[in-house]
Amino acid sequence: AQTVTQSQPEMSVQEAETVTLSCTYDTSESDYYLFWYKQPPSRQMILVIRQEAYKQQNATENRFSVNFQKAAKSFSLKISDSQLGDAAMYFCAYRRGSLSGGGADGLTFGKGTHLIIQP
Amino acid sequence: DTEVTQTPKHLVMGMTNKKSLKCEQHMGHRAMYWYKQKAKKPPELMFVYSYEKLSINESVPSRFSPECPNSSLLNLHLHALQPEDSALYLCASSQDRYGIGSGNTIYFGEGSWLTVV
């Protein structure tokens, strides 16, 4: 079974600074996808960024980028120029790909990291 | 803005009531999901529908009864719930069961807050 570990229950960063949230995962499968979701106080789960395991290039979405280390099974999220609106719970999530026999299995989530932005 | 719409946003029900949560998406997705989320915890998968058929039931008690009337709609019927069932219920969808690339992304609605009294 897959597991996702987020070892930082809470992180704090000054506005405009850079912060990195860590995530490790464990899987024996070769085809999978990794995601970072953001859940602000409104509790809506918002997709931040997605990484396909077969892609070596790290995904980037504006101020958000990942450091995907496949051999180390590490998938960290870097937020640059932090803004007050970035304050939220961030969940790292794993999903099997179709070549691993996956489908609508849903997501395996980590326990989340609560990100605080200091003005 | 989310393209997965959930109603109602808030629901308070007694333990003997029967109520339903509704979810709708118009992205042409063929897989739909129900998740339950308790405070300060990650979401837990409850049910998965693929092409309007129930494909996964994560050992959810029978007091929760899902229904997928068509490819755009997903309901969760609630009956004889317990106070510990109070939680945020998230509906989600994805392109299809064996999505490739962006089709593998699961998109969530804003959730329905359920309180059982």
* Cβ-nearest to B107 among A43, A47, A98: A47
Q: How many CB pairs under 8 A join A and B?
A: 73
Measured over the CA atoms of residue A72, residue A73, residue A78 and residue A84, the dihedral's sign is negative
Nearest CA in chain B to A100: B98
Helical spans, DSSP H, in chain B: none
Nearest CA in chain A to B88: A43
Spatial contact of A47 and B107, defined as CB atoms under 8 Å apart:
yes
The per-residue pLDDT for range B55-71, each reduced to its tens digit, is 888 889 999 999 999 99
E strands, chain A, are 3-5, 10-14, 19-21, 24-26, 32-39, 46-52, 60-61, 64-69, 74-79, 88-96, 108-109, 113-118
Residue B82: burial class (beta carbons within 10 Å; 0-12, 13-18, 19+): exposed
**More confident: A14 or B55:** A14
The per-residue pLDDT for range A36-79, each reduced to its tens digit, is 999 999 888 999 999 999 888 999 999 999 999 999 999 999 99
* Residues of chain B below pLDDT 70: 1-2, 97-103
What pLDDT sits at residue A104? Answer: 57
